[in-house]
Amino acid sequence: MWRALLFIGLLCVAAFGAVWLADRPGTVLVTFGGYEVQTSVAVAAVALVGLALALALLWSAVNTILHLPSRLTFASRARRRSRGYQAISRGMVAVGAGDTIAARRYANEAERLLGHEPLTLLLKAQAAQVSGNREAAEAAFRQMMDEDETRVLGLRGLFVEARRRGDAVGAREYASEAVRLAPSAAWASDAVLEARCAERDWRGALETIERRTSLGLLDKTTAKRHRAVLLTADALERADHDPEGALRSAQDAVKLAPDLVPAAALAGKLLSRRGDLRRAAKVVEAAWRSQPHPDLAEVYLNLRPGDSGLDRLKRAETLFKLSNGAPEGRLAVARSALEAREFDRARDALEPLLADRPSMRVCLLMSDLEQAEHGSTGKGREWLARATRAPRDPAWIADGVVSDQWAPISPVTGRLDAFVWQAPPDVLIAPELTMHDDVTADLDEEPRALPVSPAEEGPATAAEASAVTEPAPASVPAESAAAVEEAWPEPAKEEAPPPRAEPVVFPATPPDVPKPEEPASARRSAFSIW
């Protein structure tokens, strides 16, 4: 619209100028080299405009002739770049499809046409990875290190290759350098956090969590939970040689995550050792309301050493009320009643748990109850035999690994806060972790099992951490093993695993049998500890 109006306006101005010249006649006299030219003003104006147009056309022709070689060169380069980027596109498709021959051909063609472009180096590295030529892949990633714009990408590729060949030290160095150059690189910060957790550097891991939170890589809820897990791990490690420092870490963890069972159990245990029974009870009760757990019950029932069985039974009744009749509350009451030789109360607590399929712990408690009340009878042996076929009780599970003890990281993937408290399935199948992605150079070719010390695993699982090829059957506690008449059934063997390494899956072992009955002379009246 505006262009049309502008064009019409210019036409009007030109017409007005022509009319103005026509209304004012005059002559123009030009004398040059003995020649004299005389004409009207209008003809002179038209001649001047024509001369200007002719000079413009002549200059344009001369300029085109002078720049013709460079334009031909530019067109050739443009066609060459177009063919190069087309080769990169086709090469990436070939890499994704797993066509190693085509990937190498297109990578060589792209390098010939484009030289050492970032995408050319990436295609070359990916083609080498698909072909299994790790040396060529590392060489391409090292070439990326020479350019600032591809340095982080080269570090990532070298990091992946280092993990694939099992070089944990080299992988951590590459990740640390990437964090220094690009703090917001999520893969690098994840790798640094994983390495520090594997080395049990909990304070360093906390610093990494803080940095990731400040950069927005973690939301506040997840960061709060991760800090609590790391503080709990630090407290567990310092509990023996630095109880005061361990108590501070455990209390900080409880403040961040009151429902974190290991933190609450450790804080309650350390507070009870100091004689601060009231605070210990509050910590355990708060966690028990969120998640009734046998570790919390163990700490709560033994807050004050030397209490009689009736005292522990009274505290078990408190846990039962706080849990609103949860199975763990009933088990705590049944165990305490058995120790206090209150057999009827123990039966009343266990009776609702016998309706469907009682779990292993319930069957073991019923066996001990029958033997404590009636001696070694067939009824007790029957319950003990049922325990060998009973459903499993909840245990700590992370990435297919079942453990009696909590750990801050997964022994398979190194993932932080991986253990959850749940009942394992009857048949555990190891998760498939052997897939890899060469296009993005992100995942490992084979799963890695991080080293976990026996102190972290606990005495019950230190022996289970050794590599085996099939799950080992769970064992009945030593106190009741002598009365077992039926052997533990052999679990069905699964199909042979694929050639690549897979994480080992262990079945959970039954919890400890209730403590032996207390002599009547040792019992005394119950009284409140608060």
114 or 231, greater pLDDT: 231
Encode pLDDT of 471-491 as tens digits: 333 333 333 333 333 333 333
- pLDDT of residue 153 exceeding 50, the answer is yes
Overall average pLDDT of the 345-351 stretch: 91
Which has the minimum average pLDDT: 82-91, 244-253, 316-325, 452-461? 452-461
Can you give the pLDDT at residue 224? Answer: 94
Encode pLDDT of 159-202 as tens digits: 999 998 889 899 999 999 999 999 888 899 999 999 999 999 99
Angle between helices 378-387 and 360-374 (to 10 degrees): 170
Residues 100, 136: contact at Cβ < 8 Å? no
- pLDDT of residue 469 exceeding 80, the answer is no
325-354 residues labelled b (16+ CB within 10 A) or e (exposed): eebbbbbbbbbbbbbbbbeebbbebbeebe
268 or 40, greater pLDDT: 268
Can you give the pLDDT at residue 225? Answer: 94
Structure token digits, residue 34? 């003995």
Overall average pLDDT of the 104-121 stretch: 85
Can you give the pLDDT at residue 16? Answer: 81
Kindly state the percentage of the chain with pLDDT values over 90. 38
Can you give the pLDDT at residue 471? Answer: 36
Nearest to 161 by CA among 450, 501, 441, 447: 441
Greatest extent of the chain over all pairs of C-alpha atoms, in Å: 149
Can you give the pLDDT at residue 216? Answer: 87
Can you give the pLDDT at residue 427? Answer: 53
Residue 78: strand, helix, or coil: helix
Overall average pLDDT of the 400-410 stretch: 91
Terminal Cα-to-Cα distance of the chain (whole angstroms) = 90
- What count of Cα atoms within 13 Å lies in the side-chain half-sphere of residue 281? 16
Helix ranges, 400-492 (H): 454-457, 478-481
- pLDDT of residue 397 exceeding 70, the answer is yes
Judged on CB neighbours under 10 Å (0-12, 13-18, 19+), 204 is middle
Which has the minimum average pLDDT: 132-136, 192-196, 334-338? 132-136
In degrees and rounded to multiples of 5, residue 483 shows phi and psi of: -95, 5
Using DSSP bridges, classify how beta strands 420-422 and 401-403 pair: parallel, antiparallel or unpaired: unpaired
Encode pLDDT of 271-307 as tens digits: 999 889 999 999 999 999 999 999 999 999 998 888 8
Residue 151 CA to residue 528 CA, distance in Å, equals 66
Encode pLDDT of 6-21 as tens digits: 888 888 988 887 777 7
Residues 474, 508: contact at Cβ < 8 Å? yes
329 or 462, greater pLDDT: 329
Can you give the pLDDT at residue 19? Answer: 77
Can you give the pLDDT at residue 126? Answer: 86
Residues 413, 407: contact at Cβ < 8 Å? no
Can you give the pLDDT at residue 461? Answer: 36
Can you give the pLDDT at residue 15? Answer: 83
- pLDDT of residue 420 exceeding 70, the answer is yes
How long is the chain?
530
Residue 493 CA to residue 279 CA, distance in Å, equals 49
168 or 434, greater pLDDT: 168
- pLDDT of residue 497 exceeding 60, the answer is no
Which has the minimum average pLDDT: 102-116, 239-253, 356-370? 102-116
- pLDDT of residue 257 exceeding 90, the answer is yes
Residue 169 CA to residue 318 CA, distance in Å, equals 51
| Residue entry with tokens 């050639």 | 499
178 or 511, greater pLDDT: 178
**Average pLDDT taken over every residue of the chain:** 79
Can you give the pLDDT at residue 431? Answer: 45
- pLDDT of residue 120 exceeding 90, the answer is no
